[in-house]
Structure 1
Amino acid sequence: MQEKILFVDDDSNVLATYQRILRKNFQIDTALGPFAGFAAFDTRGPFGVVVADMNMPGLDGIQFLAKIKEKSPDTVRMMLTGRADLETAVDAVNEGNVFRFLTKPCPPETLMRALEAGIRHYRLVTAERVLLDKTLRGSIRVLTEILSMVDTKSFGRAEALRNRAKRLSKALNVTDTWEIEVAAMLSQIGRVTMPPSITLKASTPDQLTEPERDMLTRSPEIGQHLLANIPRLESVAQIVLYQNKHFDGTGFPADGVAGVQIPLGSRILKLLADLADIESDPEQRHKALEIVRSRTGWYDPGVVQAASTRFTHLAEPSPAGVKPSRPVGVNELRLGQILVSDVETREGLLLLGGGSRVTGAYLVRIRNFARLVGIREPIMVEVEQAAEE
């Protein structure tokens, strides 16, 4: 697909000229002035290259391109101006990060070469970003699989939490759910620094000593420090830090942050983690939404409302709210199946939590344990159905 190029100028005759001389070789769009340029970005983008005139009323070319950089960092920015002074050029580079600085009148051949170079640069930047994105996603997937095998108690249900977080985020009109999904997968990463005995007692707080309870409480802070060192995971780290924070500002960390100041991802994870805890008791499962509604100040009301709409099965008595499942043996497990029951060895060692999706690594692990020590069978998996929106 040919990348689109946007020309922004306050002179309609100049814009018409650009269209006439360039439309045979490029996909050209135009906007009369900076504010029309912003509207074009919002309604007709994305654009691979934007070329702006320096002297425009209301907002000059430098200011316009600086805002375009905030809106679309990958878009290549160029400037056309009749003022070829050094100060203007320096400001354009420093504030707008312009790729080319062209002076008027600009010969068509020079303009075409600049646009071709801009498109090549745009393709290079976006291809590199896509590659980095895929590498990061793949690395996180491998990391979470390894963590779930090393500490099944903490990470065994991460996949189920991720799936719910994605669905709830979409219900809240979050367009890019990736950061929230990653935060769900890595929400318990701070626990890898703790003695296994503490992790095992996490579900029974009454058995914890005061120092152990404090260590568990502060685990999101440890997770935040671990993730903050990874490029592009800074926002994920903040979600992890505030995952146990109450909407009214109580809870950890005790820093005065409250309400919508808490990252939306954290507000989502807080509700979903508590719902999962309630659901672990079959007798309380159908009361899960009722219970969270009764906890005044704990949750974002908007998130609770979205969950009430999205997860209606939590208000239904079992078995109506339970997804259809079927029993399988170890040899019948297949990639992509979703577990309903936990997978445990005959001695009761938890290998993988219910709600997890079977991956290649998980399948190898289960089969290895089945050969050596045996697995409790049958294993309950969801009956395959059409994917939910």
Structure 2
Amino acid sequence: MAGKPRILCLDDESHVLDALRRQLRSEYNVLTTTHPQEALDLLAADRDGSVAVILSDLRMPRMTGVKVLERAREISPDTTRVLLTGDADLDGALAAINQGNVFRFMLKPCPPRHLRATMAAAVAQHRLIRAERDLLEATFKGSIDALRDALEMAQPVLVSRVARLQRLVERLCQKLGVADALQIVMAAQMGEIGAIALPSSATSVLAGGTPSSDAEAELLASLPHRADSVLARIPRLESVREIVRHQLPTDRNPMSPLRPDAPEGARLLQAVREYDSLIWREMSPDQAIATLSSRKIHDPDLLRALAEIDGLRLPNEAVREVGVDELVTGDELANDVYGADGMLLVARGQVITDGLLVKLRSCAATTGLQGHILVIQVVGS
């Protein structure tokens, strides 16, 4: 059966499943069950999303077909959902389609030609959804990489900040079980792009200091709008832009809450950005959490999760000194790296990429490097 699209059929009558299997097995790998929960468990176990279609009867004693397909949508959103129903349930089937949970429905008894045509269309829909998702992921990755490379060349301090924010957001989303974590992580990665043209003094402020003038403060306040203007040129980033647009500067005293219409992802990222700024000012994690709590503008559950993450360093991490020739892609810097002329090349907290590795080795071979290179090492690895 290898190579055939997989179809999952659910009906409480085994003879119906036998008929479906006979009519479809020449073209599809047909899975059948009479138990709704077993069908959902099969989808949950299908981690690579290879089940192209789930076909469910509407009327079943344990769970309605509409409910099964709603749950299936949550578990495996790429799987196309088809409903099998009788004439008496036509209104319910139409309602399921109108709610956006069902691709198509078929009436019993279903002629073999109609069944095969519907399954072919459902499989084609599954392929289209997956192809579009893969294209979007490639577009997102390419866009992020391009913007990160531009930021890396113009503002190495900010690349370090982006790396810190990304790690904190990923850990926090995992801790809280956030469903749309990818959108928040992307906002953390791309939200600093508006600072690409900042002068060095303002960049230092963004990394955790305080503005030295009203003009500098106003410039920092405009960064979310600047970032949104850049992201607007990348298609289908609306949810990421919405998170970025709601971000506030982290240097204000007192800090203001986000607007009531801000999405939850924006609130999570704002808390992480404020936390990172406090840590960057050499506050301990406990002090930073206490400071955020005293502001009374963040969700206590979110702050508790941040506290459990326990800062930027994991308990089993240590620092070691390496030579430039010992650096490898993926190493995380524990200190700033300067050229012999005093120019900042790479900021602490940044993860070494292929481009940075070439840059550092080139500088070491020509003008030379200043001081030592320290990297984070996981103890026992």
What secondary structure, in the 3-state scheme, does the structure 1 residue paired with 2:298 have? coil
Partner of 2:175: 171
Query: What CA distance in whole angstroms lies between the structure 2 residues aligned with 1:132 and 1:120?
Result: 18
2:158 maps to 1:161: no
Q: Describe the shift of the 1:371–1:313 C-alpha distance in structure 2 as closer, same or farther (beyond 3 A).
A: closer
Change (3 A) 1:361 1:287: same
Q: Distance in 2 between matches of 1:177 and 1:254?
A: 19
- Distance in 2, matches of 1:161 and 1:311, equals 14
Change (3 A) 1:30 1:294: closer
Cα RMSD of the aligned pairs, angstroms, is: 4.3
Cα shift at 1:70: 8.1
Distance 1:205 1:289, change over 3 A: closer
The aligned counterpart of 1:296 is 295
CA–CA distance in 1 between the matches of 2:295 and 2:255? 13
- Residue by residue, what CA displacement relative to the aligned partner does 1:77-122 show, whole Å, maximum 9, x if unpaired? 4455676xxx999999877597667565434355345424533542
Do 2:162 and 2:189's aligned partners in 1 also have CA atoms closer than 8 Å? yes
- Calculate the TM-score normalised by the size of structure 2: 0.75
Shift of 1:359: 0.6
Deviations 1:171-207 (A, max 9, x none): 1123563222222211212223545553345454351
Query: Match for 1:334 among 318, 328, 343?
Result: 328
Partner of 1:280: 280
Distance 1:6 1:55, change over 3 A: same
Q: Find the aligned partners of 2:338 and 2:30 in 1 and give their Cα distance.
A: 59
Give, in whole Å, the separation in 2 of the partners of 1:339 and 1:42. Answer: 45
Read off the aligned partner of 1:310 and give its amino acid letter. I
Counterpart code for 2:361: R
One-letter amino acid of the counterpart of residue 168, structure 1: L
Of 134, 141, 152, which aligns to 1:148?
152
Matched residue type, 1:269: L
Aligned residues: 367
**Aligned amino acid, residue 18 of structure 1:** L
Alignment correspondent of 1:217: 221
Could you tell me how far 1:342 is from its partner in structure 2? 1.1
Match of 1:27 in 2: 30
Partner of 2:163, secondary structure, is helix
Unaligned regions of 5+ residues in structure 2, if any? none
Q: Give the deviation of 1:65 after TM superposition.
A: 7.2
Q: Aligned residue for 1:44?
A: 42
Distance in 2 of aligned mates of 1:76 and 1:287: 48
Larger deviation, residues 298-307 vs 191-200: 191-200
Q: Secondary structure at the match of 2:55?
A: strand
Deviations 1:191-240 (A, max 9, x none): 235455533454543512x2331221232233234324433322222222
Aligned 8 A contact 1:343 1:379 in 2: yes
Name the structure 2 match of 1:183: 187
Structure 1: 5+ residue runs without aligned partners? Answer: 315-319
Amino acid at match of 1:142: A
Aligned-partner Cα distance in 2 for 1:271–1:138: 27
Question: What is the CA–CA distance in structure 2 between the aligned matches of 1:338 and 1:175, rounded to whole Å?
Answer: 28
Moved more, 47-56 or 289-298: 47-56
Structure 2 distance, partners of 1:20, 1:245, is 63
How is 1:178-327 mapped onto 2 (pairs within 5 angstroms)?
178-192=182-196, 194=198, 198-202=202-206, 203-208=208-213, 210-244=214-248, 251=255, 255-257=259-261, 262-263=263-264, 265-282=265-282, 284-285=283-284, 287-289=286-288, 291-292=290-291, 294-311=293-310, 323-327=317-321
In structure 1, C-alpha distance between the alignment counterparts of 2:118 and 2:201, rounded to whole Å: 63
SS in 2 for 1:237: helix
**Aligned counterparts of 2:358 and 2:311: Cα–Cα separation in 1:** 35
What letter is aligned with 2:320?
R
Secondary structure at 1:383 match in 2: strand
| Cα separation, 2, equivalents of 1:333 and 1:26 | 49
Alpha-carbon spacing, 1:62–1:347, altered in 2? closer, same or farther (3 Å): same
Q: CA deviation at 1:20?
A: 5.7
Task: Compute the displacement of 1:354 (Å).
Answer: 1.1
SS in 2 for 1:344: strand
